[in-house]
């Protein structure tokens, strides 16, 4: 699996010819939307920084990407997705959905615009064991981030952020100091065996 970060909550995960896109920004957003072909688009929150699905095209000329933008269970091309309702985010003015999916035999969790101090017991149970966590760190509240990490205990944490200052504060609060960003993250299941709560910072490529 190759993970590429585009800033904000937008990422791409690719395995061979299969491409997943998370939260491409809309044309109204201050974030620049990437342009690539994808099989599946996942939208955590109906907000301009997340809901620009029309900016991405499908992998074939006559097929639009499969769009997931609400809670529920989905299966597309052998990829299983569980969308978990996580409440109303006042900052975004919209409901947020947490996505947990099995992709290339690894469990990915994208918290989206999750704004609570901690996960509810129900959400924690539904999320289950996580290999790769996309964790929002905007707002500079390291205690909240630490609480969520402790609840989920993922193998790898990839912070998603709107401002460099938020990322720096997160790294300071969590105790990792300065982490050197990487352009892309390439992972196989075997790479995760010895990892726990490892933070990997991805450099936005836009």
- pLDDT by residue (tens digit) across 151-192? 999 999 999 998 888 998 898 888 666 678 899 999 999 999
Q: Torsion angle, CA of 180/51/188/205, rounded to 10 degrees? A: -30
Domains of the chain: 2-199 (3.60.15.10)
135: left (phi over 0), alpha (psi -120 to 50) or beta: beta
**C-beta of residue 106 within 8 angstroms of C-beta of residue 138:** no
Helix (H) or strand (E) holding 111: none
Query: Alpha-carbon distance 55 to 75, whole Å?
Result: 23
Query: Alpha-carbon distance 88 to 148, whole Å?
Result: 18
Say how many CA atoms lie within 13 Å of 73 toward its Cβ.
4
Q: pLDDT tens across 55-110, in order?
A: 999 987 778 999 999 999 999 989 999 999 998 888 788 999 999 999 999 999 99
């Amino acid at each position: 699996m190759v993970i590429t970060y585009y800033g904000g909550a937008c990422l791409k995960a690719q395995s061979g010819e299969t491409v997943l896109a998370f939260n491409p920004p809309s044309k109204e957003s201050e974030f620049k939307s990437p342009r690539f072909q994808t099989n599946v688009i996942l939208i955590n929150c109906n907000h301009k920084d997340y809901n620009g699905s029309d900016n991405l095209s499908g992998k074939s000329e006559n097929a639009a990407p499969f769009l997931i933008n609400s809670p529920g269970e989905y299966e597309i091309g052998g990829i299983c997705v569980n969308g978990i309702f996580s409440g109303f985010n006042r900052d975004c003015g919209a409901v947020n959905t947490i996505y947990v999916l099995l992709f290339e035999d690894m469990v990915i969790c994208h918290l989206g615009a999750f704004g609570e101090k901690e996960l509810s017991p129900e959400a924690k149970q539904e999320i289950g064991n996580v290999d790769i966590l996309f964790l929002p760190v905007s707002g500079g509240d390291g205690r909240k981030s630490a609480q969520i990490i402790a609840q989920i205990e993922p193998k790898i944490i990839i912070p998603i952020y709107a401002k460099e200052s938020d990322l720096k504060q997160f790294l300071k609060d969590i105790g990792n100091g300065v982490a050197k960003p990487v352009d892309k993250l390439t992972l196989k299941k075997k790479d995760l065996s010895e990892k726990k709560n490892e933070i990997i910072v991805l450099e936005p490529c836009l």
